[in-house]
């Protein structure tokens, strides 16, 4: 096997706590252990198409492991296979993948590490099919990639949501209100479930368990009967009522995933106030879940992923994604990692444990 001398790395999709820690680990291990050069493409796949990059060295990545965001920038709208450009003021979508590959070849890159979620990894898999030496690193606060136990960034998002719930408890109790916290997660309820349990929520609403508004009102009334004058509800952005539809905030046609969820918390608050006459307030946590420094768990996991990704390239294990399975980091084919979303099992031990301590799922 030929020795690798130069590799590239990019961060695609939404930002996530731990991205910089992965970039740092990739760069340090590639340089210190294998004597490689490392190129970082700017703003995700957009940088690959437009040949926008920086050289990553030990000075460039010094001190970034604890920082949130990504020093390379990111984008969840730039798909090289359906790339948006403008001509005479008109939007044009075209396949620019060959242009991106030519830039990889011109730079003399022996491999590319793509840090991203299902959308970015789907693109990475298509590049692998075109002959590029690709290794993926699973990144999403949603924790919805089926081939890995945990994605980095998820536990930091849960930590942020849990702290918000701690604060909402005190104001809810002071004013005898219902407080709703809307969290991210797209079509999976992992953040809502974990944060709701750790943050002492009384109702948790997730996409995997359709809710009935009557059940939520009953739970609030039951608490009142036991002299509990406030209630805390966690609702995942992808939650929907039984027989109902998702609440969509907007559509972004040029994105790999054009649907932007959001607004279910406000819709739910209006229903609760109308049916119960109880003052209800909503906090939409939004991008606070993506921002800030990663917690120690995610910093460590990010380092392990970054080092493992470089090892996979060195070993010629292309077209794979590094994955946490149990206590070990392994590699799995990218196409296996992205073929289905990992969702909460409504019959799982965690859901049953939540029910056992009185948490309602609105069903």
Domain boundary among 290, 306, 328: 290
Tokens at residue 279, please?
């003052």
| Of 62-71, 222-231, 246-255, 306-315, minimum mean pLDDT range | 246-255
pLDDT at 255: 66
Containing 151, the helix (H) or strand (E) segment is none
187 in the same domain as 275 = yes
Dihedral (C-alpha) 289, 290, 291, 292: value to the nearest 10 degrees?
A: 80
Q: How far apart are CA 153 and CA 299, in angstroms?
A: 9
Q: Are 195 and 288 in contact (CB under 8 A)?
A: no
Q: How far apart are CA 122 and CA 255, in angstroms?
A: 13
pLDDT more than 90, % of the chain: 85
For the chain, the domain total comes to 2
197 in the same domain as 77 = no
Tell me the CB-side half-sphere exposure of residue 48, using CA atoms within 13 A: 33
pLDDT digits 0-9 by tens, 54-78: 999 999 999 999 999 999 999 888 8
pLDDT at 75: 86
Instruction: DSSP letter for 81, please.
Output: G
Q: Which of 93, 86, 100, 104 is nearest to 45 (CA)?
A: 100
Cite the DSSP H helix spans in the chain. Answer: 19-34, 45-50, 97-106, 118-129, 154-175, 190-198, 213-225, 264-276, 296-314, 334-337, 349-356
Instruction: DSSP letter for 66, please.
Output: T
Q: Is residue 34 part of a domain?
A: yes
Mean pLDDT score, 298-327: 97
33 in the same domain as 148 = yes
pLDDT at 114: 98
For residue 199, the domain's CATH number is 3.40.50.460
pLDDT at 161: 97
Q: At residue 131, does pLDDT exceed 80? A: yes
Q: At residue 253, does pLDDT exceed 90? A: no
pLDDT at 20: 97
Q: Is residue 350 part of a domain?
A: no
Q: Is residue 344 part of a domain?
A: no
Return the sign of the alpha-carbon dihedral for residues 174, 175, 178, 179.
negative
Tell me the CB-side half-sphere exposure of residue 352, using CA atoms within 13 A: 4
pLDDT digits 0-9 by tens, 160-184: 999 999 999 999 988 889 999 999 9
Phi–psi pair at 13, nearest 5 degrees: 80, -165
Q: Are strands 248-251 and 328-333 parallel, antiparallel or unpaired?
A: unpaired
What is the b/e burial string over 288-321, where b = at least 16 CB atoms within 10 angstroms of the residue's CB?
bbbeebbbebbbebbbbbbbbbbbbbbeebbbbb
286 in the same domain as 222 = yes
Q: Are 242 and 362 in contact (CB under 8 A)?
A: no
Q: Which domain holds residue 328?
A: 6-152+294-337
240 in the same domain as 116 = no
pLDDT at 258: 75
Phi–psi pair at 206, nearest 5 degrees: -130, 160
Q: How far apart are CA 178 and CA 193, in angstroms?
A: 18
pLDDT at 66: 94
189 in the same domain as 114 = no
Judged on CB neighbours under 10 Å (0-12, 13-18, 19+), 56 is: buried
149: pLDDT confidence band, cut at 50, 70 and 90? Answer: very high
308: pLDDT confidence band, cut at 50, 70 and 90? Answer: very high
Q: How far apart are CA 68 and CA 288, in angstroms?
A: 11
Beta bridge partners of 107: none
- Which residue has tokens 């005190």? 170
136 in the same domain as 15 = yes
Taking CA atoms, 78 is separated from 93, 98, 120, in Å, by 10, 15, 10
263: pLDDT confidence band, cut at 50, 70 and 90? Answer: confident
241: pLDDT confidence band, cut at 50, 70 and 90? Answer: very high
pLDDT digits 0-9 by tens, 316-339: 999 999 999 999 999 999 999 998
Q: Which of 142, 144, 159, 298 is catalytic?
A: 142
Q: Is residue 357 part of a domain?
A: no
User: Is 159 tagged catalytic?
Assistant: no
Instruction: DSSP letter for 238, please.
Output: T
19 in the same domain as 139 = yes
Q: How far apart are CA 232 and CA 184, in angstroms?
A: 17
Q: How far apart are CA 218 and CA 51, in angstroms?
A: 58
pLDDT at 2: 65
Domain boundary among 256, 290, 324: 290
Q: Are 285 and 181 in contact (CB under 8 A)?
A: yes
pLDDT digits 0-9 by tens, 78-111: 899 999 888 888 888 899 999 999 999 999 999 9
Q: At residue 256, does pLDDT exceed 70? A: no
Q: Are 53 and 18 in contact (CB under 8 A)?
A: no
Q: Is residue 82 part of a domain?
A: yes
240 in the same domain as 106 = no
Q: Is residue 273 part of a domain?
A: yes
pLDDT at 318: 97
């Amino acid at each position: 096997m030929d020795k690798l001398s130069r590799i590239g790395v990019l961060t695609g999709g939404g930002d996530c706590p731990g991205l910089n820690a992965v970039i740092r680990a990739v760069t340090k291990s590639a340089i210190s252990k294998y004597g490689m050069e490392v190129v970082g493409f700017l703003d995700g796949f957009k940088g690959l198409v437009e040949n926008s990059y920086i050289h990553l060295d030990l000075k460039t990545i010094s001190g970034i492991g604890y920082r949130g965001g990504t020093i390379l920038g990111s984008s969840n709208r730039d798909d090289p296979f359906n790339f948006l450009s403008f001509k005479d003021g008109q939007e044009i979508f075209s396949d620019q993948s060959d242009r991106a590959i030519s830039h990889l070849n011109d730079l003399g890159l022996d491999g590319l590490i793509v840090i991203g979620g299902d959308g970015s990894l789907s693109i990475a898999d298509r590049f692998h099919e075109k002959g590029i030496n690709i290794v993926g690193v699973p990144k999403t606060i949603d924790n919805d990639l089926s081939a890995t136990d945990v994605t980095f960034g998820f536990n930091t998002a849960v930590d942020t949501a849990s702290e918000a719930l701690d604060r909402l408890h005190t104001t809810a109790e002071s004013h005898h209100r219902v407080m709703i916290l809307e969290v991210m997660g797209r079509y999976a309820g992992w953040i809502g479930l974990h944060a709701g349990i750790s943050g002492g929520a009384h109702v948790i609403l997730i996409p995997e368990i359709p809710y009935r508004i009557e059940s939520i009102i009953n739970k609030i009334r039951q608490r009142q009967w036991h002299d509990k004058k406030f209630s805390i509800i966690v609702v995942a952005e992808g939650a929907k009522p039984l027989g109902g539809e998702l609440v969509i905030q907007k559509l972004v046609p040029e994105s790999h995933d054009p649907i932007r969820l959001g607004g279910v918390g406000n819709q739910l608050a209006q229903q609760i106030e109308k049916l119960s006459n109880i003052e209800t307030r909503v906090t939409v946590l939004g991008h606070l879940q993506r921002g800030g420094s990663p917690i120690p768990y995610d910093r460590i996991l990010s380092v392990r992923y970054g080092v493992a990704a470089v090892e996979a390239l060195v070993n010629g294990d292309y077209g794979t994604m590094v994955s946490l399975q149990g206590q070990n980091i392994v590699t799995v084919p990218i196409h296996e990692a992205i073929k289905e979303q990992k969702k909460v099992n409504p019959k799982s031990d965690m859901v049953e444990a939540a029910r056992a301590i009185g948490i309602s799922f609105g069903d």
